[in-house]
Amino acid sequence: MEVLFVSHKFPPSTGGMENQCYQLVTGMEKKCKVHRLIFDNKGSKLLFFLTLIRKIRKTCKEHPGINIIHFNDALIAGFCSFMKLTEMNYSRKPLIIQLL
């Protein structure tokens, strides 16, 4: 199984959500192949979101073995809902939303 994790909350930012996301991703790396689309706090967070669809498409094309796309928080969940309701989910991969 291959999972694409998408999040804008990840270390080096600090906080509970960042820690939870880090633990989830590193834990899953022990069980399966993991790909990451993570905001790295370099540049604009708005630009990260505006280019996210293109980055997801590119990553899925480069790694056709990705089975699941995992969105890690409520803000990403809104994006995920838009993606699910439109033809943006061209890959027809399951989309997972995690709300804490």
In this prediction, residue 63 carries a pLDDT of 94
64/78 Cα distance (integer angstroms): 25
Q: What are the residue ranges spanned by the domains of the chain?
A: 2-98
The answer to whether residues 68 and 93 touch, using CB atoms and an 8 Å cutoff, is yes
Write out the chain's pLDDT in tens, 100 residues.
899 988 877 656 666 677 677 777 788 889 999 999 888 888 888 888 888 888 888 998 899 899 888 888 777 767 766 665 555 555 566 666 665 5
pTM: 0.76
In this prediction, residue 33 carries a pLDDT of 94
In this prediction, residue 30 carries a pLDDT of 93
Over the Cα atoms of the chain, what is R_g? 13
In this prediction, residue 62 carries a pLDDT of 94
Q: Give the 3-state DSSP-derived string for the chain, with helices as H, strands as E and coil as C.
A: CEEEEEECCCCCCCCHHHHHHHHHHHHHHCCCEEEEEECCCCCCHHHHHHCHHHHHHHHHHHCCCEEEEEECCHHHHHHHHHHHHCCCCCCCCCEEECCC
In this prediction, residue 67 carries a pLDDT of 87
